[in-house]
Amino acid sequence: MLIDRVNEMNNNWWCENIRATNPCGEQPLPPYGSCLLGSVNLTRFVREPFTARARFDWDEYRQVVKIFARMLDNVVEINGLPLAQQREEITRKRRHGMGFLGLGSALTLLRIRYGSPESVKFTEDVAREMAMAGWEEALELAREKGPAPIMTEEFTVTPEMLRKRPEMARDGWKAGDRLPGRTLHAKYSRYMQRIAAIAPELVSELAEIGARFTHHTS
């Protein structure tokens, strides 16, 4: 994974230039960014393991992802970061990174061979459902508690932004125009455009209201 790709897919593409990962290497971050990470244990959602009836409880999984998204968002309030710049960074954008663990074990419990086409599809489904449930909760949290502060800030469109996102010019935006962070985040980030391909109405609402956090899945 190259740094150009990291910046291309960054949800905050218009206001960040990421140059490195955190010390552990699992999350690219901007200056003073901190890694608020957590994982969901997939093995807890396997029902009747090792049997012909083994199955994954998708409904409970989605519910847990939403609850966990709330928990990670609450951690922003008690971040305990030592530097004022770090505290400003995390409270302004409220980013967190949710992932999953126990994938290989869950596949074994489901009697799916690791590396098989079925295992690849299962992994894709796990990642997709985590992303969708999290962004649904980002909208609900924004309605309940307000969006991340960066979503309500206004930013000036620059020639560099138009170069990176030619579709902005096609939509009628030009250098010098002002538009809110929620629009730049939901409508013009490459990651959220992928979410829009699955749930266009959800992303339209996020562009209108703003998300509670700028990043969800790690």
CA dist., res. 150 & res. 82, Å (int) = 22
Backbone angles phi, psi at 89, to 5 degrees: -60, -45
pLDDT reading at 53 higher than 90: yes
pLDDT reading at 22 higher than 80: no
Mean of the per-residue pLDDT values of the chain? 96
CA dist., res. 13 & res. 6, Å (int) = 9
pTM for the predicted model, two decimal places: 0.93
Quote the tokens at residue 135: 């962004």
Quote the tokens at residue 161: 């932004």
pLDDT tens per residue across span 141-180: 999 999 999 999 999 999 999 999 999 999 999 999 999 9
Comparing CA positions, the residue from 93, 34, 44, 104 lying closest to residue 68 is 44
CA dist., res. 12 & res. 186, Å (int) = 10
Q: In whole angstroms, what separates CA 138 from the centre of its chain?
A: 9
Quote the tokens at residue 17: 């230039």
Comparing CA positions, the residue from 48, 46, 22, 42 lying closest to residue 33 is 22
Q: Which of the residues are catalytic?
A: 22, 24, 26
